[in-house]
């Protein structure tokens, strides 16, 4: 199973011993983890600006995640321009799931499949793993 992690999960997962960090560690044992170069850099910028003490744990998480290049193409759904290359990278990378905590920008797509990639929350991803 190929799972794409959005920037906000990389950021939140960089807090040592957080439930998100623990879940990402669990996911890395059960699935192949991916992110895009753009999502990785967004998370890195936010850590440097807001939580520089988390950098070491961010580097640890990133070492468990394969990086996909940014891809830009049209989508059959509405999405903010800044988020299109993130989702299209997951699509081009043939990921099965796009996991995000960003309800504001992706919430309207939760549970939907776009070009073969199902957009889910972290909780939904946990529920999916429990059924396997």
pLDDT tens by residue, 5-54? 999 999 999 999 899 999 999 999 999 999 999 999 999 999 999 999 99
Question: Do the strands 32-36 and 2-5 form a parallel or antiparallel pair, or are they unpaired?
Answer: parallel
**pLDDT per residue over 66-96, tens digit each?**
999 998 888 989 999 999 999 999 999 999 9
C-alpha span between 41 and 77 (Å, rounded): 25
pLDDT band at 132 (very low <50, low <70, confident <90, very high): confident
Residue of 102, 92, 50, 96 whose CA lies nearest to 67 = 92
Environment class of residue 101 by beta-carbon count within 10 Å: exposed (0-12), middle (13-18) or buried (19+)? Answer: middle
pLDDT for 119: 98
Q: Looking at residue 6, what DSSP letter applies?
A: P
């Amino acid at each position: 199973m190929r799972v794409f992690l959005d920037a906000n999960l990389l950021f939140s997962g960089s807090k040592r011993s957080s439930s998100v960090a623990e879940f990402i560690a669990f996911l890395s044992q059960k699935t192949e983890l991916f992110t895009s170069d753009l999502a990785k850099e967004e998370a890195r910028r936010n850590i440097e600006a807001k939580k520089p003490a988390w950098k070491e744990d961010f580097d640890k998480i990133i070492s468990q995640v394969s990086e996909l290049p940014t891809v830009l193409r049209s989508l059959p759904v509405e999405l903010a321009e800044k988020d299109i290359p993130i989702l299209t990278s997951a699509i081009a990378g043939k990921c099965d799931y796009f996991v995000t905590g960003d309800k504001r920008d992706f919430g309207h797509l939760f549970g939907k499949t776009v070009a073969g990639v199902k957009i889910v929350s972290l909780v939904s991803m946990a529920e999916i793993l429990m059924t396997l």
